[in-house]
Each structure stands twice: as structure tokens, then as C-alpha cells.
Amino acid sequence: MPAAQKQDRGRFMTLFDAYLMVDWSAEARPKLGRDSIWLALVERSVRGLRLAMLENAPTRQGARVRIADLLADLAAQGKRTLVGFDFSLGYPAGTAAALGLKGLPWQAMWDRLAAAIDDGADNANNRFAVADRLNAAIGQEAGPFWGHPQGRRFEHLAMTRPTYGALPERRIGERYISGPQPVWKLSGAGSVGSQALTGIPAVRLLRRDRRLGEICRVWPFETGLAPLDDAATRRHPVILAEIYPSLVTPLAQGEVVKDALQVQAIAGHFARLDEAGVLPALFAGARDLSAQERRIVESEEGWVLGVDLPGIRAGREKVDIDGLFSSAFAYIDDPEAIYRESRRIIETEADLSQVPLEARALAVRLIHTCGMTDLPRDLDLSRDAVARGRAALEAGAPVLTDVEMVAKGIIARRLPAANKVFCKVAGKAAAERAASQGGTRSAAGIDLLVPQMEGAVMAIGNAPTALFRVLEVVAAGGPRPALVIGMPVGFVGAAESKRALALSGLDYIAVHGRRGGSAMAAAAVNALMGGI
């Protein structure tokens, strides 16, 4: 565990370092904004609570993958995370038995839903058809599930509230709060049943993620109704729980989507309870539960974290979003976390399938430098260019650049053989040569580098004329570089000079077209030394 984190934990004596709250959606198509999926990650730092991330996910599959990546990343940092989902993780007592399911009721219900729900990458899903089949299996004329869009017909799924028969309308824990609709209601104002039908399979997949399986537990099904302590979260640093964001009322300046405010507010609420030493006891549930009720909660129904906090009433506590965090902006300020998140975004958004395996680290670094995930389509390199460039550097070859900006961008301390970096464009000699012979100072600077050119690594990141001059020198029988990195930028000559490089017979790395630049040329040299 990092020293700063140990100091932080000792100061606050908290169960968790991070609080990831999820506002789910059962939308049948990708959607952003109101009534879509929102994720808020609040972390504790030496400067106080900070909103590390606020994201709006258009699809459930995308949200689940993002949550899994976040949790794996936080765990790798040694951080303990409370994860809250705003939908029921269990059904009223007797549901599993009514369906004829065997084994632990909550687990059997999760398995049944996972097998039945089809939830596509585009959010298209069959939740109403599944509810219709579940009603039929339970054997009631209609219900307990109810509610569906107008214009659709189902044999066993009524549009309006039916009689529930032997099954309870609500779970035991819901007697402590007013407001939430029963989990049976799938459509209409305030309905939450569709979120549970689509959400439970997603949480089940999270629980089974190979990176999380050993460190993750679902409360209270796998932990029991008992206070959490430091040892418990040390063994299992990821705790998945059910939450009710409307326990608190968020306050903020300006017009902000309510769902976005609520996930921030409830995350801050639990973080404050954690700091106050109140949070551990909330995992024990209400004190007035009978032994039988506790067994039902632990085996089938689940519990909503914090609903039994003495004196709490839904919406009574006001949370000032603007004053909650140490910074008003959600951004990552840890260098290692920035690296990891950059790498994740690049690998998610960029198509690296056509890039040779040995050049993928190079492609990632170039994308990281320019911020353009479509860059691989223009990346071109000769066979074994990366290996030959690296070998030249390891053998002590100098690095020759067309402009000082490229030279300054090369990480000299990582050069494998204390390689020299040369650039002649800024000197008096280049200016005089350009004035007397015509042409650009960049091309004149290349002429002054000819004595060092044999076997060198050349990085051209600014001037097309410099790259053309390198090719002219070689074509006239002059010294041949070991590798030419051709990334001049601009509208005149940039694309043409890189096309000529690709036909020159030299080993090369190029980004075709108009884009390029000093930063990218330097990044390509740095990539030869490994790392992002």
C-alpha cells in the first residue's frame, strides 16, 4: 500500500478510500443525459474528498465494462471501494421458491435472470418478455410483475397493478423508507423493476470478473448483516451494495442533470459517514430485525445501505455539491492514474489491429501525444523499423533532428547508450548557409548534420524541406541513416515528403498526410526506448 495512502487511512480511520455510485437505466436504446446511466467516483486524498470521475454511459454494457476496469484499477492501487447500485439486488421473500428455484434464493434468482435476459450492446433487451415468462412460471393469472409500454400485449404481464397473491409487494427493508416503487413495477412513473431485471445480470458479471472474483463481495448476501471492519475490507476491498440515492437531496449551482447530482451526493454522504465512524455499523442492518427477518434479508431480499440510520428520512439531508469536494472540478491528478486512464482510453477507442505487434507501443505513444485515436490508419513503417531503430540506439548511434523542439522532447536520461542528440538549425551556420544557397534553414541544418548521418536515427518533426533534403543526400550516394522518423507537419510538402520517404528504400517510421509535428517525432524516438 502506498505510504501516502497509509497515512491517509491512519488519519481518517475509514473503511474505504473510494466510493463509486451508479445510477442505472433500463433504456432500450443508447441514451445520455436525463434517465440514463451515471457514474460518480469520489476518492479521499490528503487534501480531502475529491470527485475523481463523473461519467454518463450511453449503454449498460459499456457501463459494466467501465465499472469493472475502474474497480480493478483501484484495487491495483491498494484502494478499497464501496460500490453502490440504485436498484434492488434481491426480490421479496418467497420469489425463488415460487419459481421452483433451488439453492440460495438470491443466487438462484441471479442465475435465472442472467440466463433469461438478453441485453444487447445497443441496449435492446427483452425484459418485458422475461417478466411475462416469470409470471407464467409463478403460476398467477397476472403478476407479480406488472407494467409495460402501451401498444404491447403479453399473456401474463398486466399493464396495471395486479394482485400479488402469496408474494409480498415489498421487501422487509422497504418499511424503513417511503417513496420507492415495488420491484415488481416495470414501467411508468417511478418504476424500478426494469432496472433490477437488467441490472442484476450486470452485477453478476462484475462479481464473476476474473480480476475481481477474489477481492469482491456482495453485501449482505456474501457478508451477512454484520458491521464491517478494517480486516473485512482488507480481505475484500470491493464491496457491492444496494443504495437509494434519494436518501439525500443534492444542492448545486446552475442547471445540472438530477441523476448526475444524486450520484455525487450519495457518494459524498457515505464518505462523510465513513469519516464519522458511522458507516461500519450500517452494514449490520436495522437493530429491530427478528432472527427470521435477518435470515430472509441475508438469503434473498438484500438491504438498502443506510435506510435504517437513526433519525434519517429520505431527502431530509441536504448535500451541497459545490462545497462537498476539495475541488469543483472532476479530474485525475495522480500521474500514475493519468497514465493508466490514458492507456485504457487509447486501447478502447483506437483500432490497433492493423499495426504490427512490435509497433503497437509506438502507436500508443503517438496517440497519447497527439490525442487522435484514428492515427493508426496513417501510421506506416518499414519492416523491422522499430527493432532496427532500437538496435541503432543501443549501439550508440546519435539522434539527429530538424528543429530544437524535437531535440528537447527526447527523454535524454532514457537513451540506452548516453546517445548524443544533434540539431543544427538554430546556429549561425545554418542561417548563413540558407542565405547564401537558398532554401530553408531546416534544410541547411540537415546539410550540417551530414557528417553524423551514417547509421544515425533521424527525427524530422517540423519541416518537409528537411525530410526532402535527407532523401536527396541519400539519393546522391551520401551516408544512410539507420532509421528516419518522418513526421513533418503542414499543408505544403508534408504529405509528399512522407510518400517519398516510404519509397526511398530507407528504414522509416512515418505518419502519412498533413499531420505530424515535433512532439510526435520526439515521441517516436522515446517509444523506441520502451514505455508509453
Residue positions annotated with a catalytic role: 368
Cα 13–Cα 18–Cα 20 angle in degrees, nearest 5: 140
In SS3 terms, 281-313 reads as: HHCCCCCCCCHHHHHHHHHHHCCECCCCCCCCC
Q: What's 172's DSSP letter? A: G
Give per-residue burial for 347-379: e unless 16+ CB within 10 Å, then b. Answer: eeebebeebeeebbbbbbbbbbbbeebebbebb
Strand, coil or helix: 475: helix
What span, in angstroms and rounded, lies between the C-alpha atoms of 458 and 467?
A: 9
* Cβ partners under 8 Å of residue 335, min gap 6: none
Beta bridge partners of 459: 401, 485
Strands (E), 275-434: 317-320, 379-381, 399-401, 421-422
243 backbone φψ class: left, alpha, beta (φ>0; ψ -120 to 50): beta
- Closest listed residue to residue 272, CA positions, set 319, 219, 225: 319
Beta bridge partners of 304: 242
Phi, psi of 83 (to 5 degrees): -115, 125
Tally of CB atoms within 10 A around 170: 15
What would the DSSP string read from start to end of 3-44?
Answer: HHHHHHHHHH--S-SEEEEEE----SS---STTSEEEEEEEE
What span, in angstroms and rounded, lies between the C-alpha atoms of 327 and 92?
A: 42
If you search the block for the grid coordinates 526506448, which residue do you land on? 529
What span, in angstroms and rounded, lies between the C-alpha atoms of 79 and 44?
A: 10
